[in-house]
Amino acid sequence: MADRDGDNKHGGKRTGAGRKPGSGKYGEATTVIRVPRSEVGNVRDFLGALEQKRLREGRGNVLEFVALGPAARDLALPLYTSKVAAGFPSPADDHVEKRLNPSDYLVENDNSTFFVRVKGDSMIDAGIFEDDVLVIDRAPVAQVGDIVLAVLDGEFTVKTLGKSKNGPRLIPANKNFPVIDIKEGQSFEVWGVVTGSMRKFR
């Protein structure tokens, strides 16, 4: 039924309505498929089991990618070296060691750097926690022992790069997660080296 202005008030697609793409459980766009009603429960069970398997293995622990924005080159904040017993730095200028630009401190190569937000706790012993934002640089050549962003069989994951007699391996920093040995026939690539991290406390 249309109102006097001819706008459809009932039915049809409405601008801005519905769930935003990528806002669902899996953080990505979805598609509609037809399955027999009798199999709906089995499909849901399969997806649930797959998610639990990925969590146990620590794979797919990258939540989102964030591009490097324009560097705030004129932003330089004071770096204090005060040893006041109460733990609060003095505002006096003689306690300022230097002025620190956060962009310069975290980013070495503007053109090859981006950020990822991580999920899960497979790297907690390396000081990487859920929702941390990691600084990824694609310029350095990854070495054994580096924490890297890798893509394994189409899934992005953050792990320590290792090596066995059979080839590369991805090592979690949590004893509850298994080491992932890269097997022949798997799709594997190191996308970049983790060079820093950012975390908000409030």
**Residue 107: which of 190, 197, 199, 189 has the closest Cα?**
197
**Cα separation of 51 and 59, whole Å?**
10
What six digits make up the tokens of 91?
Answer: 């505002």
Which amino acid is present at 28? E
Q: What does the alpha-carbon distance between residue 198 and residue 194 come to, in Å, rounded to a whole number?
A: 12
Tell me which of 20, 82, 98, 159 is the catalytic residue. Answer: 159
Going by DSSP bridges, is the β-strand pair 147-152/188-198 parallel, antiparallel, or unpaired? Answer: antiparallel
> Would residue 13 show up in a list of annotated catalytic residues for this protein?
no
What distance separates the 2 farthest-apart alpha carbons in the chain? 76
Whether 122 is catalytic is: yes
Q: Which of 112, 122, 164, 183 is catalytic?
A: 122
- Catalytic positions, written as ranges: 122, 159
